[in-house]
Structure 1
Amino acid sequence: MTSQTKILLVDDEPEIRSMLSIFLGVEDYDIIEADSGKAALRQIIGAKPDLIVLDLGLPEMDGQEVITAVRKFSNTPIVVLTARSDDSETVKALNAGADDYVTKPFRAEILLARIQANLRQGKTVSEPDAIDNGPVHMDIGRHEVRLNGTLVAFTPKEFALLEFFVRNRGRMLTHKQILKEVWGPAHTDDTQYLRVYIGQVREKLATVPGLGQSITSESGIGYRMELLTAAVAVAAE
């Protein structure tokens, strides 16, 4: 990354902003800050950051309100940084338009990985004919999946589910987001249906040893397909 990549840190605790500014500054990000929800909106409009790290518990304007407001005019990636332990708050933030979340207390390297994953995702503006995540290669036009170069058959719905995961690799997706995208708005409560298909996709990915575990779950929230490298997957064979 270069200093041209701009990150907005939104947190009402100066100590956290200072710590993150130092840590992310070492990674050559250009850091700007806001200590309230309203200040965050002013920075988003004026400075146009490439990514937002957002606390939920903010003065003047709650983080949930900030997400809703931002999504009316911007698709800038939002990584929620929260101390709120209620899963429903996290799900609400993700469904409102946040792209990922990290809970406090947090490990700096985990936050950095989430930031990098969402910055990469944000740069994907076109719809390529083929997409990859490490050893997973999907030819969209041919409707084919290759795992480490080997063709593996996926049903149309399994293919659509895997495609959604690969396009959003590294990002947490709620049950509602996945069901709405793959099955449509009428199926957003069919979580049992989703679990069945997740199991089927994992089973087919597992033809490469260890690859079935690349789709991880968080109870009450949703699923994430981890960012993979071909080298790691091949070594796992």
Structure 2
Amino acid sequence: MTGPNSPGLLRRIAAAVERVYRSDHGVVVFAREVLSSALVVAVVGLLLFGVSGLWPPLVAVESGSMQPHIQKGDLVFVTEEHRFSPDSAYGDTGVVTYRVGERADYRTFHEYGDVVVYERDGRSRTTPVIHRARFWVNDGENWYDEADARYVEGARNCSELTYCPAPHAGFITKGDHNGYYDQADGISSPVRPSWVRGTAELRLPWLGRIRLLFSGATLSASTPV
């Protein structure tokens, strides 16, 4: 019997594969190592995607705004925000704020509430920000009275505070190391749930430096890997 599935053809293909596998020729060895490494990376990537629900599931942190809990150069594993959200998450957002975390004793990265990766003002082409969700504001809300006076950049009332009253509902966010809320510092308006890419779950110290080295990044908050 002849054809693409004939036993003789299959035996020849198997023999050819075995010769390549056992060859010690430099070019063949190099190609074999590259392919095996690529296969390992692909398998690990698929496993991470399966757990995370996001692609890419890793971001390299480019600034020190989350120190000391997340350092510049860390690699952070991010999951879809509803993936492991607790009952204390706000509404159906999948995100626990700092304020709610205090009451529920829910912590991530040594502080209350979730650390979120979000798009500034919903702009997908900008480098995402990785900061902590502090509290929720409703559309049109005067959130000055809810804010911690230390983080409003010297504003004495709502009219002196950026994005107050709130132009829309969303999260007020802040880097753990930053002196002001993102919304007081002009980084972003209140973060709509649709702008949230995911929540940070795990940091891998220093592994993001390789990504930053090749990208030349120095200022932004996080870079997908």
Q: Which has the larger radius of gyration?
A: 2
Structure 1 length as normaliser, TM-score?
0.27
RCO higher in 1 or 2 (8 Å CA, sep ≥ 6)? 2
Structure 2 length as normaliser, TM-score?
0.28
